[in-house]
Structure 1
Amino acid sequence: MAKEIERKFLVRSDTWRQHISKSSCFQQGYILSDTDRSLRVRIRDKADALLTVKIGHVGLSRDEFEYEIPLADGLEMVAMAQGNVIEKTRYNVEYGGYLWEVDVFAGAHDGLVVAEVELEHDREDPPLPPWVGREVTGDQRYSNQWLATSAPQAERRNGLSLKA
């Protein structure tokens, strides 16, 4: 069983763009979504599809299972997803010996930019790049699951900030 341990931050400047090592475009939708579990399908670069099951949430950690599926199946599932289909470009940026993933959202969440760093254990304290702002780890309003299953207009009413 794989564990996902990550911290998430809003991004306050574009200086990270100088250090991009890779990028991918994603479309992702949620087939099932509950408070402590989800079933997500993700299309990457219009070339492959992944089915991801996430269960639980203890601190920064949760169980994650991921499987490649046929692209045609993934596209069909995205079309049947609940709520909004997430559209974003993910950029890989190295900083302080860590791989940071910067997600620039488009579509229903245009303007939102968040950075995540995956950790080996939940007590790990990576150096923070100067371009990250407020930490939003644990704030469900910034989770892809919430963004997909909540109406974009509700973001402003519920205090979701697009700025660091």
Structure 2
Amino acid sequence: MAVEIERKFLLKNDAWRSEVHRSTRIAQGYLCTDPERTVRVRVKGDAAFLTIKGKNSGISRSEFEYEIPLADAVELLKLCPQVLDKTRHLLSIESHTFEIDEFHGENAGLIVAELELASETSTYPQPEWLGAEVSGDARYYNSALSITPFSRWF
């Protein structure tokens, strides 16, 4: 079984921008947002993926991801009640890759850094721009943002 171990953080400032080595626009929607499992369809550049994730246990959960035809993903996104629009910026520090998601549309103003780890106890770099950890805050899950966008929090 594939396991995703991921920490999620807010950002203190924009200093990370000078370290970005690649950015990609992403459209993603959720066919299922049940807390026990989520089913996501994602278009990332000219590639598309279907991802099934299990319930979180700490910062870990099962994850199964499959590449699918782009045309199928475009049609599947039409079945999703809300499609998230974000730009994913990648930057590497030491042997770690931070994925920084800058949201658009109804989630504009939200920027979150994600970091996948080998274990829940793995150490990781903590650059000065890394802010508060929100890994356990369900509001920041992409599936939750597709239901209650950041713009409606206030």
Q: Which secondary structure does the structure 2 equivalent of 1:59 belong to?
A: coil
Letter in 2 for 1:126: Y
Letter in 1 for 2:75: E
Higher strand fraction: Structure 1 or Structure 2? 1
Residues 134-145 of structure 1: matches in 2 within 5 Å? 134-145=132-143
Letter in 2 for 1:143: Y
> Aligned equivalents of 1:116 and 1:129: distance in 2?
13
Runs of 5+ consecutive residues of structure 1 not aligned to the other structure? 157-164
Cα-Cα RMSD? 1.2
> Aligned equivalents of 2:51 and 2:43: distance in 1?
11
Deviations, residues 29-50 of structure 1 (Å, cap 9, x unaligned):
00111012100000012x1210
Letter in 2 for 1:99: T
Aligned to 1:23: 23
> Aligned equivalents of 2:15 and 2:91: distance in 1?
11
Aligned to 1:133: 131
Aligned to 1:44: 44
Given the two structures, how large is their TM-score scaled by the length of structure 1? 0.89
Aligned to 2:77: 78
> What's the offset of the Cα at 1:95?
1.8
Q: Which secondary structure does the structure 1 equivalent of 2:64 belong to?
A: strand
Runs of 4+ in 1 over 4 A off after TM superposition: none
Q: Which secondary structure does the structure 1 equivalent of 2:56 belong to?
A: strand
Deviations, residues 105-134 of structure 1 (Å, cap 9, x unaligned):
001101100001100000112121111111
Aligned residues: 154
- Percent of matched pairs sharing the same residue: 43
Letter in 2 for 1:14: D
Aligned to 2:119: 121
Given the two structures, how large is their TM-score scaled by the length of structure 2? 0.95
Runs of 5+ consecutive residues of structure 2 not aligned to the other structure? none
> Aligned equivalents of 2:78 and 2:3: distance in 1?
28
Aligned to 1:162: none
Q: Which secondary structure does the structure 2 equivalent of 1:63 belong to?
A: strand
